[in-house]
Amino acid sequence: MSLLEEAKQLIHLHKFSPKRGLGQNFAVDMTILRRMISFASVDKEDVVLEIGAGLGFLTRLLCEECKQVIAIEIDSRLVEILRSQLRGLENVDLIEGDALRIDIPLFDKVVSTPPYSISSSMLFWLLGKPFSCAVLTFQREFAKRLTAHVGDKDYGRLTISAYYRADVELLTDVSRKTFYPSPDVESTIVRLKPRAPPFHVENEFLFFSLLRTLFMQPNKKVRNAIIPFLRNLGVERDDAMNRVNSLLLYNRRVRQLTPEDFGDLANEFA
């Protein structure tokens, strides 16, 4: 039986209706699932995290290839289905809950097709964790934001945060037909490998809050966009203006600054 037939059967049998809001589009293409696992070079030493286990098709394959799978699923109806789907598999730890809010045991790789609605928060969450490799299927527009070039409309806080912490590769495009039910958007498989930051940042908290503030107004000149950041730091308005006028980058537009420029700026105030 194909995965598509199996998905339809499970959904019918359990009278389950997939919820769009939770991104319940299940990957039903065996070739794509196998490629994701091989892109992550998963082997018998690995503990692999899966965020949003759905009907468990990827979970099942991962169990064959790695030491342990930690499968998280938020929807209790699906957790019920997963329990029966994964029965007899000894190397899976199925956890019900919101992946971004619960405590998750240590893992070293991530292979998932997470719901698109949490792509951004999940990525920021993941970049703060120790792991060696993540292979994730994202909405194509989101994937492009991760590797956008300086000045592009997609270039922003996400691009710079990802670049600061990881090597990011867009590996292959995935058609919406890979999923059942099909979503309205195309997808791309992305690989992230954490690495040492490519430039020096004195105070990461300042760096990330600078990014957040400046990218609220990406088309503004630095001298204007940076004022709220300085005021937040408790700098008086006049002092803030003086500081800004002495910045080398003050006349450039936020979107035109390289990640390294943001590092320099943050270091000015560290």
Picking from 109, 127, 130, the residue whose alpha carbon sits closest to that of residue 51 is 109
Q: Taking CB under 6 A as the criterion, which residues in 95-134 touch ligand SAH?
A: 98-100, 112-113, 115, 118
Near ligand SAH by CB under 6 A: residue from 42, 48, 78, 143: 78
| Closest separation in Å from C-beta 44 to ligand SAH | 22
Using omega within 30 degrees of 0 as the cis cutoff, is the peptide bond preceding 181 cis? yes
| Residue 107 neighbours by CB under 8 Å, 6+ apart | 47, 48, 49, 70, 131
Structure tokens at 207: 């760096």
Count the residues of the shown chain that bind ligand SAH, applying the rule CB under 6 A.
25
According to CB under 6 A, which residues from 127 to 156 bind ligand SAH?
none
Contacts (CB under 6 A) with ligand SAH, residues 10-29:
22-27
What tokens appear for 19 in the block? 């919820």
Q: Which residue is nearest to ligand SAH (CB)?
A: 52
CB 27 within 8 A of CB 137: yes
Nearer to ligand SAH, 95 or 201 (CB): 95
**105 DSSP 8-state letter:** -
Q: What is the dihedral of CA 94, 123, 166, 29, to 10 degrees?
A: 60
Give min distance, CB of 98 to ligand SAH, in A: 4
C-beta of 100 vs 171, nearer to ligand SAH: 100
Question: Which residues lie below 8 Å from residue 145, measured CB to CB, with a gap of 6+?
Answer: 154, 155, 156, 158, 159
Do 72 and 97 form a contact (C-beta atoms < 8 A)? yes
Question: Rg (Cα) of the chain, in Å, rounded?
Answer: 21
CA-to-CA dists, residue 267 to 18, 39, 258, angstroms: 48, 36, 14
5 scored as a contact of ligand SAH (CB under 6 A): no
Q: Smallest gap, in angstroms, from Cβ of residue 43 to ligand SAH?
A: 20
Between 73 and 261, CB nearer to ligand SAH: 73
Taking contact as CB under 6 A, which single stretch among the options 41-49, 67-75, 213-221, 232-240 is the one that binds ligand SAH?
A: 67-75
For ligand SAH, what does the binding mask look like between residues 27 and 66, x meaning CB under 6 A?
A: x-----------------------xxxxx-xx--------
Task: Name the residues that contact ligand SAH, by CB under 6 A.
Answer: 22-27, 51-55, 57-58, 72-75, 78, 98-100, 112-113, 115, 118
